[in-house]
Amino acid sequence: MTPRMALLVAGGTGGHIMPALAFGQWIRERRPGVEVRYLCGTRALELERYRASSIEPMTVDMKGSPLGAPKGRMLRRWLDVFSGYWRTRNLIRETNPDLCFMFGGYVSTSSVLICRRRRIPSVMHEQNAHAGKITRMGYSLGIPVASGWENCDPFGAGTFTPVGVPIRPLDLIEKGAAWDSLELPAPLPEGPIVVAMTGSLGSRRIKDIIKALAGRAELFDMTFVVVDPKALAPIRELDNLFLVPQRWNASAFYSVSDVVVARAGASTLSEITAMEIPAVMIPWSGAANDHQMKNAMAATNRGRFKIWSDELGDMSDLAGKLRDLQILPALSRGDTMKKMYNVAENICERLWAFAARPTNTDNLSALKGDDNIGG
C-alpha cells in the first residue's frame, strides 16, 4: 500500500527540527501523493523554525524536558508530559498517519508510545553518534532506528541502519554577493573569512573563543563572522570581528566562509560535511553522553575537519588549525553543489525506503552494505 500521510515529530532544538523539515520537503517533492504533517512543542524557537519554512505544525503544550529541569519547573514539565500524551493521542487519531518519523526532542516521547500501541509503522531517526533517551526508549519498544552516522552508541552493529542526517536545501553563491546580503558594515575583506556557527540556542563560549582569536596579532589578516541568535542587527565588534543575526537559510554564511568554526551538533556537522567546507569542530563537553565529540570523530573521515578541545584552551593550537585549514585548495562551487545535492537526495531516499517497506518493524538489516551514505 502506498502511504497517504506521513507524520514527522521533531521538537526541542534546530538539531532535531531541521532534519525533519529537510526530509518533509523531500517527501513533498519526490512523493507528491503523500501528505506531510509535523508535530512539535510550543517553545518559541520551535514555532519560529517551522514558520520560517512557511509551515504551521500541530503542537503539544510542552516547553522542555522534565529530566534535569530546575526544581521550580520540574513539576510543571511532568504535568506537561502527561497532558501531552492525551493531546498527542488525539492528534494521531485524527490524522491517522500511515508512517511516523520521530526525529527526537522531548515531544517525541508520547508519539513513541502511541505509535507503538496503535501499530503505526514508525522509525526513530537518531542524528547523533550516541543515541538519546527517546531513541533508546523507542528502540527498547521495537521501533527500528535509522542513524546519522555509522556509529550509534550504545547499539551494536546490525541493530540500527545508517542513513545520514537529512540536510536543508542550500545554495552556494558568489562570495561578494553573499557578503553583501549579510548587510555587514564593511566591504568584503581581502583576507580569509572564518564563520562561527553558535547553534540555534547560541553558544556564549564559542563567541568568547572567536573574540580571543580575532584579537591575536597573527590572525589580524582574517575576518571573523559570528552567527549569533541573540544579535538584533549586524554589528562590528572589532576591526576584524562581526556579529550577525541568525538566519534559518544558512546559504550566505557558508558562501562567504573559507573556514567554519562550530560545535559538533549533528545537523551543522552534516551540512559542512556535505559541502566539504574546511572546519574546526569544538565539541561541547556538556553534551549528553559526550555525543558531540562522538559526532566530530565520526565526521573526521568524511570531511576536511580538525577537532579542538576548549577544555584545554590552547589558543595557539586553535590558531594553527585555522591556518592549516585556510590554505587548503578551494573546491569548485559547482562541484560542491552537485555533491551536496546528491548526498541530500541519497540520505532522504534511504530514510524513506527504510521506513516505507512493509517489514520496517522487523528487518533492521535493509540498506546495509552501501558505503556511500553521506551524513
Q: What is the pLDDT of residues 140-175, one digit of tens each?
A: 999 999 999 999 999 999 999 999 999 988 888 999
Query: Which class for 142: exposed (0-12), middle (13-18), buried (19 or more C-beta within 10 A)?
Result: exposed
- What pLDDT is recorded for position 286? 87
Helix, strand or coil, per DSSP, at residue 356: helix
For 276-332, where are the alpha helices, taking DSSP H only? Answer: 291-299, 315-326
Q: What is the pLDDT of residue 358?
A: 54
Q: In the beta sheet, which residues pair with residue 123?
A: 101
The confidence score (pLDDT) of residue 372 equals 33
pLDDT value, residue 373: 32
In b/e form, how buried is each residue of 311-325, taking b as 16+ CB within 10 angstroms?
eeeebeebbebbeeb
Residue 72's pLDDT is 64
Which portions of the chain are predicted below pLDDT 70? 1-2, 63-78, 301-303, 357-375
Q: Is 3 exposed, middle or buried (0-12, 13-18, 19+ CB in 10 A)?
A: middle
Residue 183 in contact with residue 253, Cβ under 8 Å? no
Predicted confidence at residue 310, as pLDDT, reads 86
- C-alpha 198: how far from its chain's center? 12
pLDDT tens-digit map of 4-16: 999 999 998 888 9
Q: Give, rounded to a whole angstrom, the gap between the first and last alpha carbons of the chain.
A: 29
For the chain, give the longest Cα–Cα distance.
64
State the pLDDT at residue 209.
Answer: 95
| List of domains in the chain | 5-168+344-356 (3.40.50.2000), 175-336 (3.40.50.2000)
pTM above 0.75, yes or no: yes
Neighbouring-strand partners of residue 279: 260, 305
102 near 108, Cβ under 8 Å? yes
The pLDDT, as a whole number, for residue 362 is 43
The amino acid that residue 300 corresponds to is T
